[in-house]
């Protein structure tokens, strides 16, 4: 079969950009972590690249994008081990690209989603328990929602839209993070400061750069919607970053660099479900709303005493929910004829479906994650010992140090 080389090339580039986001996340989290836990948090992102790829080859792709089982809750095993996928197999959603390219692109989403959760429980979870968590969470949370929303499953049949992962990625990961925090409890040293703000900035830059592949690539084609999603992504992130900066500056009387960076990531997460379905003006509103609402969510988290160390719930969880609901408000067929009209354009039912879907996803991810951690704890200890936590996971779990302090 002859494929379109331009579209195929673009999708390979988008795949590479999304792959880069996982190392970017490792740098972002690594900079935010205390100096004794840099490697401990970074390895949790990098190991997902290996384990998730193995799982995706064995059964992940098939369970997400092959067939329909259990009433649309999950796929089947027909394409396990890439059975019946070959050089001539075309992606069913766009015959211009090989199925291999779609497999690779979607795999990068599966890699980064569980890694997002790790920022919440930095320096409190054993590496062995995390590896079990990584496998089970994908099998029982990520794969079902990827199938239900993107694989033609239950939520897709219900008319729910999610352009690039508001429900599938950010809402589920964010509320899984909150469940993890409540399960493992608070850090012994909550005053631990970020070890490297420049590393946070490098991570943010890589995430922002990769997010163009994350959102624009989700058009799965090269057309005007691809460009719309690209520009919406940048605009929402920029407005969110400045909104966060202004709010924090007015409250603490200092313009915080980490706040600016965090606001940008919040804007990126929030525009994700809506990027290819809303106008540029709507992206501006979504960005401003994201900067304000996610900032307030982080403030609420602090007030409630939830020790979400790197604000995964406030940024990704609330950002994903907000973006999904605002998609239900601002979506318009004028931008994307394959989409639908939101509340502002008469789509009341669509708005209700979006809201119910994202709330249901959050509840499921929270409850399942908490129960799963309790189950894993029966197999192997989830939380590290007080001695290991005081020593730092770099040394106690991995026997390594991020920096040679003798040289520094």
Asked whether the predicted pLDDT for residue 189 surpasses 90, the reply is no
What would the pLDDT profile of 87-101 be if each residue is shown by its tens digit?
999 999 999 999 999
Of 207, 309, 212, 194, the closest CA to residue 263 belongs to: 207
Residue 408 is predicted with a pLDDT of 46
CB 272 within 8 A of CB 323: yes
Residue 125 is predicted with a pLDDT of 96
Asked whether the predicted pLDDT for residue 31 surpasses 90, the reply is yes
Residue 188 is predicted with a pLDDT of 83
Task: Name residue, tokens 């900067």.
Answer: 291
Residue 406 is predicted with a pLDDT of 60
* pTM (two decimals): 0.96
Task: Determine the Cα–Cα distance for residues 82 and 60; give it in Å rounded to an integer.
Answer: 10
Lowest-confidence segment of 148-157, 180-189, 211-220, 262-271 by average pLDDT? 180-189
CB 286 within 8 A of CB 278: yes
Task: Determine the Cα–Cα distance for residues 298 and 292; give it in Å rounded to an integer.
Answer: 10
pLDDT band at residue 403 under the 50/70/90 scheme:
confident
Neighbours of 303 (CB within 10 A): 8
Residue 388 is predicted with a pLDDT of 94
Task: Determine the Cα–Cα distance for residues 97 and 88; give it in Å rounded to an integer.
Answer: 10
Q: Which helix (H) or strand (E) segment is 145 a member of?
A: helix 143-150
Checking 341-346 for CB contacts under 8 A at 24+ apart, the result is 342/278
Task: Determine the Cα–Cα distance for residues 340 and 344; give it in Å rounded to an integer.
Answer: 11
Contact partners, residue 81, CB within 8 Å, separation at least 6:
57, 58
CB 403 within 8 A of CB 33: no
Ranges of H-type helices in 66-126: 99-117
Mean pLDDT of the chain: 95
What would the pLDDT profile of 43-67 be if each residue is shown by its tens digit?
999 999 999 999 999 999 999 999 9
Residue 407 is predicted with a pLDDT of 52
Task: Determine the Cα–Cα distance for residues 342 and 161; give it in Å rounded to an integer.
Answer: 11
Set out the domains of the chain in order of their start, with CATH numbers. Answer: 5-379 (1.10.3430.10)
Q: Which helix (H) or strand (E) segment is 392 a member of?
A: none
CB 52 within 8 A of CB 407: no
Task: Determine the Cα–Cα distance for residues 384 and 145; give it in Å rounded to an integer.
Answer: 30
Task: Determine the Cα–Cα distance for residues 241 and 315; give it in Å rounded to an integer.
Answer: 12
Residue 404 is predicted with a pLDDT of 77
Contact partners, residue 319, CB within 8 Å, separation at least 6:
170, 174, 266, 267, 269, 270, 290, 294
Neighbours of 304 (CB within 10 A): 10
CB 320 within 8 A of CB 358: yes
Asked whether the predicted pLDDT for residue 12 surpasses 80, the reply is yes
Contact partners, residue 203, CB within 8 Å, separation at least 6:
24, 25, 26, 27, 28, 29, 30, 31
């Amino acid at each position: 079969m002859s494929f379109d080389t331009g579209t195929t090339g673009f999708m390979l580039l988008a795949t590479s950009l999304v792959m880069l986001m996982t190392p970017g996340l490792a740098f972002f989290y690594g900079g935010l972590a205390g100096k004794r836990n840099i490697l401990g948090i970074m390895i949790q992102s990098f190991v997902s690249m290996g384990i998730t790829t193995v799982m995706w080859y064995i059964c992940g792709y098939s369970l997400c994008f092959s067939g329909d089982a259990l009433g649309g809750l999950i796929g089947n095993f027909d394409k396990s081990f890439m059975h019946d996928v070959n050089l001539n197999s075309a992606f069913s959603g766009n015959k211009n690209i090989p199925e291999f390219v779609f497999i690779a692109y979607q795999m990068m989403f599966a890699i980064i989603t569980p890694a997002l959760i790790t920022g919440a429980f930095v320096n409190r979870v054993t590496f062995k328990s995390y590896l079990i968590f990584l496998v089970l969470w994908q099998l029982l949370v990520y794969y079902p929602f990827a199938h239900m929303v993107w694989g033609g499953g239950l939520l897709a049949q219900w008319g729910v839209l999610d352009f690039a992962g508001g429900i599938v990625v950010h809402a589920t990961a964010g509320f899984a993070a909150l469940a993890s925090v409540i399960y493992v409890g608070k850090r012994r040293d909550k005053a631990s400061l970020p070890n490297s703000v420049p590393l946070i900035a490098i991570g943010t830059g890589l995430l922002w750069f990769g997010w163009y592949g994350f959102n624009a690539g989700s058009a799965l084609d090269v057309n005007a919607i691809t460009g719309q999603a690209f520009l919406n992504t940048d605009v929402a992130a920029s407005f969110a970053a400045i909104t966060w900066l202004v709010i924090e500056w007015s409250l603490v009387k200092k313009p915080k660099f980490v706040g600016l960076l965090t606001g940008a990531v919040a804007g990126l997460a929030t525009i994700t479900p809506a990027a290819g379905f809303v106008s540029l003006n709507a992206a501006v509103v979504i960005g401003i709303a994201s900067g304000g609402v996610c900032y307030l969510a982080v403030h609420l988290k602090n007030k409630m005493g939830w020790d979400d160390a790197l604000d995964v719930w406030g940024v990704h969880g609330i950002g994903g929910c907000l973006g999904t609901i605002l998609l239900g408000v601002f979506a318009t067929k004028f931008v994307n004829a394959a989409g639908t009209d939101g509340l502002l354009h008469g789509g009341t039912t669509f708005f209700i479906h979006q809201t119910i879907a994202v709330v249901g996803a959050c509840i499921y991810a929270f409850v399942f994650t908490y129960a799963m951690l309790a189950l894993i704890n029966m197999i192997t200890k989830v939380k590290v010992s007080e001695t290991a936590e005081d020593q730092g996971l770099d040394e106690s779990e991995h026997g390594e140090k991020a920096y040679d302090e003798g040289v520094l």
